[in-house]
Amino acid sequence: MDEFTAKHAEKMQGVISGFDRLVFRGTLRVIRYAEGMKAYLIGKGIWVGDFAQHVQVVSERLKESWLAEARKLGRKIVYLASSQIDKEALARRLAAEQKITDGPLCVLTCVEPCRSFEVYRNRETKKLDLVSRLRKCLFLYHYWIHPLFGFMNARLQTWFPFPVQICLNGREWLAQQMEAAGLK
């Protein structure tokens, strides 16, 4: 990059640099592993055999809280039959169709592979055990246009341990800053 800017310096008015995407990932570390999840269940007084029922209740509460604002604002909530669908393109299209220029745009939901827990019958100990496994669960993708960061999204796994990912688009963030500074 330095070689290019040095070669063409007389033709340039300035250089813009920044990141393409910035992704923040969060997880409840205590329950990310089977031992932590077992400790959580013991602390709640829940038998391992009732794990699925407990998780279903918590998952439903989580989904409802994430969807509440979209419903309140009349934003679209769309289930995607395939995880291969370009979610960002769909969110942008929905925003354009509904003429939304700021705030929440939509929530897209999709079943995708995830790392979670399952109850397993241990043949050696003859007891039920909780193990971390690759499985499938519902993910929620919340898209919005933020006044400072621009177009962004958050992705939430709706099954324990509920990891979340927030994605900022660097070009969008830069565009917001340039617009605020009156630059074209």
pTM of the model: 0.84
- pLDDT higher at 184 or 131: 131
* 1 pLDDT tier (thresholds 50, 70, 90): low
More confidently predicted of 18 and 107: 107
> How many Cα atoms occupy the beta-carbon half-sphere of 66 within 13 Å?
25
Nearest to 168 by CA among 182, 183, 155: 155
Q: How confident is the model at residue 138 (pLDDT cuts 50, 70, 90)?
A: very high
Instruction: Report the mean per-residue pLDDT for the chain.
Output: 91
Query: 6: burial class by Cβ within 10 Å (0-12, 13-18, 19+)?
Result: exposed
Q: Please give the residue that has the higher pLDDT: either 86 or 120.
A: 86
Q: What is the mean predicted confidence (pLDDT) over 101-119?
A: 95
Check residue 38 and give its pLDDT. 93
Which residue in the block uniquely carries the two structure tokens 């077992």?
38
Q: How many residues does the chain have?
A: 184
- The radius of gyration computed from the CA coordinates of the chain, to the nearest angstrom, equals 22
pLDDT at 20: 81
- Please write the tens of the pLDDT for every residue from 47-99: 999 999 999 999 999 999 999 999 999 999 999 999 999 999 999 999 999 99
> What is the pLDDT, as a whole number, of residue 134?
94
The 8-class DSSP code of residue 148 comes to: T
∠ CA(101), CA(102), CA(107), 5° rounding?
100
Question: Residue ranges of the alpha helices (H) in 74-142?
Answer: 87-98
Q: In the prediction, which pLDDT does 10 show? A: 87
User: Cα 81 to the chain's mean position, in Å?
Assistant: 18
% of the chain beyond a pLDDT of 90:
73
Highest mean pLDDT among 29-38, 87-96, 127-136: 87-96
Burial class of residue 55 (count of CB atoms within 10 Å of its CB; 0-12, 13-18, 19+): buried
